Structure 1
């Protein structure tokens, strides 16, 4: 029988294979979440629905991810079992989508996927805390979050290319295969992972009563919002504003994903040494990138480099916010994980709706201006959260 791990033991055994199994889980989860973005047209044509209806399958994932993130974190169930169930549900969700005969079954499959996404991310930081010593946490988190970057490559340029060759249903079957590999890997490598003590809905509400936590959550919403308000309209920008051909767009999206992966890996080393200054610097750089994009739309090559830089710098943000949770609330990481996932999904949904109105009325320049303004607010809120934490606890964030 596997021995339960401690949250606070510095000399604990490192379970790096289990960490990489979570990387595989993230890759399969996020690729499944975003594959429809590159395959909206063929999905809509096959099921005789509009592209707008097909696009709602991404929205369905977000809605159920928020619900799952708030419900699963307080439950006192062994996290190994929860993660394995979520991985199995991922496989079922992809199979439903791959063989769906109609729109209803498609939505059901995507809703199940949403439960997997929300459940996994709400537990990710706390589970990682049990798998490696505290000193190795930023590196472990960067490995896990690198799965997001790999999934971006799989779900955008690669899925789009292969979808034209073998059809969208087979793309989801390939995604199913990734899910099966993740399940088997996790089954073999994950140790017993007890739920954190004191988990409850009451504890989650108590966290929100602490001002520095609430400000940090709002900062998270702005942080992800500034990125996604542009990312959502990245393809229209490349296609219409820069007038790139399909092959060039696929290449830029591929480079974007690779740069994002590199940024995530670098973040794992930097965040462990200079967390506070890195978090502030990253958001300032993204603010400057958004402003520069506003005034450089005539230089195609320079714009492409800025887009790639955007992907590189964003790689720091997921690792950064997970590190923030572990540095400030390690003993409440599961509760904060649930709140963090809910705030991120809310942010993505909010900026998608807001960005649509801005893009229709002000075009891509309005998107860049909005991104810059959102990142400015994020910077202010991050600094305020850090100051409030120091004032309340008496311990500065390094």
Structure 2
């Protein structure tokens, strides 16, 4: 069995280990797409299970709940297990419960399956970042994480619309069956291509609360929560917001543009994250603040909306890599626990963004969205800017990590 040191020695000569990193990216792709797929298929799912669209929409909520509740406890429970075993467990759970979702005719059984799929996602998110970082030396960790996280923007921007189209053409069960089939392929890929690594020794583990209290961890989690809450207010209710500019019929095109811009963002982040992490984070936060200002003054102008979506997509594309890298740097050897916290904060932000967006839409209308985004981003930028001592350090990461 190869050790971490041996792996690093090989990688220095061979570059990034793309086969395992792309397996991690596919894991993220399946996790995100499994979560968001029902959103584009609510009428068909409701009809197929004999429930309303509102009830069908709970398939998304229950998945997020499973991920939220499972991320930290399962990550702690499995922290001493070999990493490949944990990853295979997560992927295998996707296979089982996406298959049950595909064939189930019971609404309540489907909800249970969705909850368990969310549990698998929580376990996967708790391990992926640390696993990717351990496969490479310190100076390549940001780039490795960028590759490992590329499945997220692909799933959000292109996977979800494609899944919705497939479901509308061939039935929603086919779309979930495809998710199960992809998970089978991933399971085999992981067995063959992903090197195994040991878990964390008991002596090196810190309790969850001590990791939470480490200098730098809470500022990173706070920025994640504020940033993703702002993002999800607009992303969740993009349809009602686009009514203001007469672009409702162009939602698919808008999301596609967002997705391509996000891919550009993750590429730029992957190139620069190991040398300029702090600058990237501050630029990304500033970019979303600029987007909020553009939309506040030009929300009824189609050209302004299209330009804002491009900037928004770019700023979001690198968010996962940037914030997971910052969190891991702040937590040191406790990377898996802190990544579970990142997952928890991220899912809380998704839920809060949906709730806040709904309240704003009902009480003040979609015109209020940009102002809410701006307020959240000002606070997030302030935390990131003034948190450079522990959380968002300047300079190249390999120097930061050795301090």
* TM-score past 0.5 threshold: yes
Is the contact between residue 212 and residue 338 of structure 2 (CA under 8 Å) also seen in structure 1? Answer: no
| Distance (Å, rounded) in 2 between the aligned partners of 1:81 and 1:44 | 36
Note the C-alpha offset of 1:253: 1.6
Is the contact between residue 125 and residue 322 of structure 1 (CA under 8 Å) also seen in structure 2? Answer: yes
Q: Following superposition of structure 1 onto structure 2, how do residues 313-328 of structure 1 map, counting pairs within 5 Å?
A: 313-328=315-330
Would you say 1:67 and 2:69 are equivalent positions?
A: yes
Q: Is the partner of 1:386 in helix, strand or coil?
A: coil
Q: Which residue of 2 aligns with 1:48?
A: 50
Pair 1:141–1:100, CA change in 2 (3 A): same
Q: Which residue of 2 aligns with 1:80?
A: 84
Would you say 1:103 and 2:102 are equivalent positions?
A: no
Would you say 1:123 and 2:127 are equivalent positions?
A: yes
Q: Deviations over 1:188-217 (max 9, x none)?
A: 111112112348985211122235322221
Stretches (4+) displaced over 6 A = 395-398
Note the C-alpha offset of 1:71: 1.2
| Distance (Å, rounded) in 2 between the aligned partners of 1:120 and 1:289 | 32
Would you say 1:221 and 2:225 are equivalent positions?
A: yes
Gaps of 5+ in 1: none
Q: Is the partner of 1:191 in helix, strand or coil?
A: coil
Q: Which residue of 2 aligns with 1:3?
A: 2
Q: Following superposition of structure 1 onto structure 2, how do residues 359-398 of structure 1 map, counting pairs within 5 Å?
A: 359-388=361-390
Q: Deviations over 1:359-397 (max 9, x none)?
A: 111111212211111111111111233235599xxx968
Q: 2, 22, 31: which is aligned to 2:33? A: 31
Gaps of 5+ in 2: 394-398
| Distance (Å, rounded) in 1 between the aligned partners of 2:247 and 2:365 | 17
Is the contact between residue 146 and residue 321 of structure 2 (CA under 8 Å) also seen in structure 1? Answer: yes
Would you say 1:234 and 2:238 are equivalent positions?
A: yes
| Distance (Å, rounded) in 1 between the aligned partners of 2:387 and 2:68 | 23
Q: Is the partner of 1:3 in helix, strand or coil?
A: coil
Deviates more, 1:299-308 or 1:77-86: 299-308
RMSD over aligned Cα atoms? 2.3
| Distance (Å, rounded) in 2 between the aligned partners of 1:141 and 1:388 | 21
Q: Which residue of 2 aligns with 1:352?
A: 354
| Distance (Å, rounded) in 1 between the aligned partners of 2:98 and 2:377 | 35
Is the contact between residue 34 and residue 155 of structure 1 (CA under 8 Å) also seen in structure 2? Answer: no
Note the C-alpha offset of 1:307: 1.5
Q: Is the partner of 1:295 in helix, strand or coil?
A: helix
The TM-score with structure 2 as length reference comes to: 0.91
Pair 1:212–1:133, CA change in 2 (3 A): closer
Note the C-alpha offset of 1:87: 0.5
Larger relative contact order, structure 1 or 2 (CA cutoff 8 Å, min sep 6): 1
| Distance (Å, rounded) in 1 between the aligned partners of 2:391 and 2:384 | 11
Is the contact between residue 196 and residue 334 of structure 1 (CA under 8 Å) also seen in structure 2? Answer: no
Q: Following superposition of structure 1 onto structure 2, how do residues 298-309 of structure 1 map, counting pairs within 5 Å?
A: 298-309=300-311
Q: Following superposition of structure 1 onto structure 2, how do residues 275-294 of structure 1 map, counting pairs within 5 Å?
A: 275-294=277-296
Note the C-alpha offset of 1:84: 0.5
Is the contact between residue 66 and residue 341 of structure 1 (CA under 8 Å) also seen in structure 2? Answer: yes
| Distance (Å, rounded) in 1 between the aligned partners of 2:392 and 2:103 | 53
Note the C-alpha offset of 1:115: 0.9
Deviates more, 1:210-219 or 1:352-361: 210-219
| Distance (Å, rounded) in 2 between the aligned partners of 1:259 and 1:243 | 22
Pair 1:199–1:85, CA change in 2 (3 A): farther
Q: Deviations over 1:221-254 (max 9, x none)?
A: 112112111111112323x2233364x3222222
Pair 1:11–1:178, CA change in 2 (3 A): same
Q: Which residue of 2 aligns with 1:243?
A: 246
Q: Which residue of 2 aligns with 1:341?
A: 343
What is the count of residue pairs matched by the alignment? 391
The TM-score with structure 1 as length reference comes to: 0.92
Q: Which residue of 2 aligns with 1:139?
A: 143
Q: Which residue of 2 aligns with 1:210?
A: 214
Would you say 1:271 and 2:273 are equivalent positions?
A: yes
| Distance (Å, rounded) in 1 between the aligned partners of 2:194 and 2:109 | 32
Is the contact between residue 390 and residue 396 of structure 1 (CA under 8 Å) also seen in structure 2? Answer: no
